[in-house]
Each structure stands twice: as C-alpha cells, then as structure tokens.
Chain A
Amino acid sequence: MNGSLFATVSPSHFLILAALLFAIGVIGVLMRRSVLIVLMSIELMMNAANLTILAFARQWHDINGHALAMLVIAVAAAEAAIGLAIVVRVFRILRHSEVDRLTALKH
C-alpha cells in the first residue's frame, strides 16, 4: 500500500535516503583516485548507516540506537585520524596519494 510520497514523512523516506547516500559513498570509493575523497566517501557511508540506525530508533522508541550511533561517530573520528595520518605519511614518502598507484602491498 503506497500512500502519497510527499504527503508525510515515514521511516521509509529516511531508509531510502540512507540507501541513496550509502550508494553515492560506494561510488565515490570505487571511482575516485584521490585517497582523501575515498576517506570522505567512507565517512559518508558511516553517516548513512547512522541515519538508518536513528530512523529505526525513532520507529521503535529505542534509545539504544542513539547510544550505538554515538559509538559509531566516535569510531569514525578515530578512523579519520588514523587514515589521515597514513595519507600524510604516504604523501611525504611518495609525493602523491592516488589509490591506483599505491600497489606496494600487492607484490
């Protein structure tokens, strides 16, 4: 039963929006060459996951979802710090930071 898409806001709206943002993040990770853009796309995907968590938290009146989302934000902050430190180190050594050219661990 599909009601009008624009009349009111339902959990489905938030879930589809989150899926869309997650898909855009995946496309960014796959198709961009700059490590910084790839890291930002990962942050975007974490945000999409958070949006899903919070939509269900509101739907079921469950505050545990908020605690979980808070832990996700903290882990994302840690991940960004480590990731950017690695980018800085790689850039100092190689003078570039393009994912396609970082193949040392493949050989």
Chain B
Amino acid sequence: MIGLPMLSGAALALTHTAIVAGAGAVGAAGAAGTAGIGETVLFWLFALIAVGGALGMITRRNVVAAVMCLVATIVALAGLYVLLLAQFLAVIQVIVYAGAIMVLFVFVIMMLNKEDDAPWALRGLLIKVLAGGGLAYLMARVGSVVWDAGFSPERAWNPGQAETFGSIGQVGQALFTDYLFPFEAVSLVLLVAVVGALVLANPRRPGVAAAADSGAAARIEVGEAGTAQEGGQ
C-alpha cells in the first residue's frame, strides 16, 4: 500500500525525464528535416515498454500488478505521443489515464479487497478460438498493407511540419471552433457518467436500494443455478 504511490511517483518522474528527452530529440529532428537516431531509439524503447506492459497486464494473476503493468504501458504511450508531436495529448494522457483512471482502478481493487483470481477464462473456448482466428486474419491483412507501405526513410513522415503543431494553442483552437459541439457534448457525457456512477455505487439509498439489491441477487442466483443445471446435463 505504501509502495504504490512511491512507485507511481517514480514512474511519473521517469516519464517526465523521458518526455523532455523525447521533445529534445523531436525538436532536433524537426530542425534537421530528417528523423534523428534519437527518435528511433526512443521509439523502440517506448514500444518495448508498451508491449511488455500490455502482455504483463493480461497475464498477471494479481490485479494490482496488472494495473501497474497497464500504467507502464500508458506512460510509454505518452512518450510515443510526444514522438508524434502531440505534446498536449501526452500530458493529458499522463494526467487523465495514469493519474485519474488508474487510481480509480486501484481504488476499486482496494475497496473490493479481492483475492487473486484464476488467470484464464476457458469457458466457451470454441467461440473464443473463432474470435481469435478472426482477429489474427484482420491483423494479418492490416499488417500486410502496412508492410507493403514500407519502412524506408522515403516513406517516412511528410515534410514541412509546423513548429506549433500539436501545441495547446492549436488543439484548443480546433476544439473550440470545429469541435465545439462534440466538446460540449462530451461535458454532458462526463456529467451523466458522474451521476450514473453515484447512483450505481451508492449503497445507502434508504429502503429502495436494499430491496432492489436482494431482489436482484435472488434473480441473478436463480440465473446462475439455471446455468449450473444446464452445465450438469
């Protein structure tokens, strides 16, 4: 419990250093007009952390360890956003994802006080194999198209990047002119989410909630019993 915030703090400090270094590399590359070696090294570093964190996230038995792996992935993705000249979104990524959403996950895990769970869900394996095959096919097609596009420097980024691309000013201008309606709609979505979360998670609404809960529990248990019977037959 004590190690957790320290770990997050260390990770964020590391990110800050990495992002500053990444911004320097991008700036140098932009000035030279070609991709620098620093950008390549940072890409592979962040890509390895991201993929490793994602793999760790889906394989850990301990849910808290899984959350920490996902935090590593998200922080590495913030670094990749900087490489993509999206500085503002990299900051938002660290604050909103690594800061808010992941803390929410950890908070819920601590509140539920769950024991470690079984690592893999193997029920309905046939459907999952089919879905996995479809996913593999999709990825193979996407991969072949991207592979044909090539990795050579000639096919790298289009030249002529503006200095201010991805800055807060430019993103803000887009958000408050072309995207004004979606922006306001998202504020409504967030309001509904807050109210909905309060209504769903509040245990002490007098009378109504308790009755509804016991009724729901009874219904759900009946449903589970039905499933068990079907499984037994």
Contacting pair B158 A67 (CB below 8 A): no
How large, as a class, is the contact surface on chain A? 35 or more
Interface size on B, residues (CB 8 A): 103
Contacts of B117 in A (CB 8 A): 33-34, 98
Q: Report chain B residues within 8 Å CB of A85.
A: 196-198, 200-201
Residue-wise interface mask of A (64-105) relative to B, using a CB-CB cutoff of 8 A (1 in contact, 0 not): 101111110111111111101111110111100111111111
Q: A64-B174, A85-B196 are in contact. List 15 more A-B contacts (CB 8 A).
A: A4-B151, A5-B151, A8-B39, A9-B156, A10-B155, A19-B146, A26-B132, A34-B63, A51-B84, A54-B84, A61-B161, A64-B179, A67-B174, A93-B216, A98-B121
Q: Which residues of B contact A77 (CB under 8 A)?
A: 96, 100-101, 190, 193
User: What is the bound-complex CA distance between A67 and B193, given in angstroms?
Assistant: 21
Complex A-B: 28 CB contacts under 8 Å? A1-B154, A2-B151, A9-B39, A9-B83, A12-B146, A13-B43, A15-B142, A21-B51, A24-B51, A24-B55, A25-B58, A27-B132, A28-B58, A32-B119, A36-B105, A40-B105, A47-B97, A58-B157, A59-B158, A63-B173, A68-B179, A71-B182, A74-B186, A81-B194, A85-B198, A92-B203, A101-B224, A106-B223
Least CB distance from A32 to B in Å reads 6
Cβ-defined partner of A78 (8 Å) among B183, B192, B227: B192
- A residues within 8 A CB of B213? 92-93
- Docked complex Cα distance between A1 and B154 (Å): 10
Set B67, B147, B217: member contacting A94, Cβ < 8 A:
B217
B66 interfacial by beta-carbon distance below 8 Å:
yes
The 4 closest A-B pairs by CB, nearest first: A3-B152, A78-B193, A28-B58, A33-B121
Known: A17-B51, A26-B135. A43 touches B142 (CB 8 A): no
Residues of A within 8 A of B165 (CB): 58, 61, 63
Does the CB pair A30–B77 fall under 8 Å?
A: no
Considering only residues 105-129 of chain B, those with a C-beta below 8 Å from chain A are 105, 108-109, 111-112, 114, 117-123, 128
Contact between B50 and A17 (Cβ–Cβ < 8 Å)?
yes
Interface residues of A in 6-60 (CB under 8 A from B): 6-17, 19-21, 23-28, 30-34, 36-37, 39-41, 43-44, 47, 50-51, 54-55, 57-60
